[in-house]
Structure 1
Amino acid sequence: MSRIGKRPLPVPQGVTATVNGQTVTAKGPKGEMKFVVNDEVLVTLDDGEISVQPRDDSKDARSKWGMSRSQIENILVGVKDGFERKLEISGVGYRAALQGKDLQLALGFSHDVVYQAPEGITIAVPKPTEIVISGIDKQVVGQVAAEIRRYREPEPYKGKGVKYAGERIIRKEGKKK
């Protein structure tokens, strides 16, 4: 039994949600998103609450039940509030800057790395060592943050590189004489 799937999803104020067959559409102040639920899961909208149930008791249906509810919840939160991911840059000479809509990163390579943000993603650089990625799709925001981090992952000896805000880097001891 899915503990997550059992709970009904209340539609937040300011968001209009519609269920048309297997398609859940949410429209809010930040934008509009759709999610097509798997055929093994039944979705219903009653009195401002979205309920998700497996169609039968098969293992496949039960495994998609909780995931479908989580995806619908992410859509509702995304169109109302949006999602945000923060990255921190540490290292001498490592910095970030915006060049139009593109992100320009100086990460110790011979040339600067230029990252073009996908559609629907906003990148802000409040400080040269801080990057804020925001958008309405949680998966895309996380993917963009992971791609930027992958250019120079934090190394364990000095901790230099791009890391998530609040991420703890496990440090190693250097060579001894």
Structure 2
Amino acid sequence: MTEPLPLLRDTVRPEWIDYNGHMSEAFYVLVFGYATDAMMIETGLHAGYRDSTGCSLYTVEAHIRYLRDVAEGAPLAVRTRILGADAKKARFTHELYVVDQPDAPLASDAEPVATTELLALHVDQQAGRAAPFPDEIRARLVALTEPAPDWAGRSIAKVTGLQAK
């Protein structure tokens, strides 16, 4: 494994606050989207790549856990982990943390305020279907692969015991 991906940093903006006085669920997704964009840049799937190849990463499944309320002005850090990649797919997670200061390191005992697990396909936008990653990008994703956190891979039905009828 190479060095982990850098943390994404942001701050909770006033317009992200909902009627309950804390960060609205849509903005957790926005911050996770920013983290996906940062991961794409770090792994070579940046705007230049998209322009030259017509390919991009499309999220096809996501599972979000909202664990704690987040207040306006809170400095945020997002840790991204690549859990695996094959010819056309990548599985990764983002963990959202509130930190003491905007550039503060992430404490080893920090607990996330929200998490998401995502499955994404590498898509040829012209053809409208999944396409293999170039070897160098797949190799970078594989090199970044880390063990899955305990919470990854769970479904809502497994966690709650509630099944559809």
Scaled by the length of structure 1, the TM-score of the pair is 0.21
Structure whose residues are more often strand by fraction: 1
